[in-house]
Amino acid sequence: MYIIVGLGNPGSKYADTRHNVGYNSAMCLAKNYNISIDFSKHDAMCGKGVIEANKVIIAMPITYMNLSGVSVSKLMNYYKADRDELIVIYDDISLEPGQLRIRKKGSAGGHNGIKNIIQMLGSDEFTRIKVGVGSKPKGWDLADYVLGHFSKEEEPVMNEAFEQAANACVDIMNNGADYAMNKYNAKASGK
C-alpha cells in the first residue's frame, strides 16, 4: 500500500498558500482518481482508494507543517508500509514556480516539515516530490513568503504543477522513482 502525503497547514487561512502546494497536489491526485478525502485518522485528513491497481492512502497531515512527521509515522506504522511505499509532496523555494524535482532520499534542505518526517522516521530515505514555489523576494521574511498566495500570473503555472505532481505519483508507483526522476526532473531543468 502506498502512502501519498501532501504537506501543508490546515484551515482556510492557509488554503492555496505556497506552503500548501503539497495539499493541492494531493487533492488533485484524489480528484483525478475519484478518491474522496473523507476521513480523519492519524492526525491527517485521508482518502483510501486504488490508482491503476495500486492501493493508496492519500493523506494531508493536520498537525501543522513543522510536526508533519507525527502524522507520517502514525500512517506508516498503522498501514505497516515500507519507506519505499511513501511519497511526500511539498513546496521548495529553491525551484522556479511550477518546477518539479523528485528525490529518493536526502536532507530536509531547510524545510521544517521534511526535517520532522526524517526525525520521526529515523531516515531520509523516502521518495519526495518537490514543487517549486520560487525564492522569496529580497527583504521578505521567509514565513511571510511561504504563507503568502500566488500571484494571478502564477496560478495557471501552479495548477499545471499540481497536475504534474499528481502524474508523477502515478509514475513513481507504476514505473519506479528513477523513471519518474528522469521524466520530470529533466523537464524541470529545461532539457
Q: Would you please indicate which residues are annotated as catalytic (active-site) residues?
A: 19
Q: Which helix (H) or strand (E) holds 127?
A: strand 127-132
Residues 6+ apart with CB under 8 A from 122: none
Cα distances (Å, whole numbers) of residue 110 to 54, 106, 130, 174: 32, 11, 13, 30
**Cell numbers standing for residue 60:** 494531508
Cβ count within 10 A of residue 145:
17
**Cell numbers standing for residue 68:** 508533519
**Cell numbers standing for residue 98:** 511550477
Q: What separation, in Å, do the N-terminal and C-terminal C-alpha atoms of the chain show?
A: 33
Amino acid at 55: K
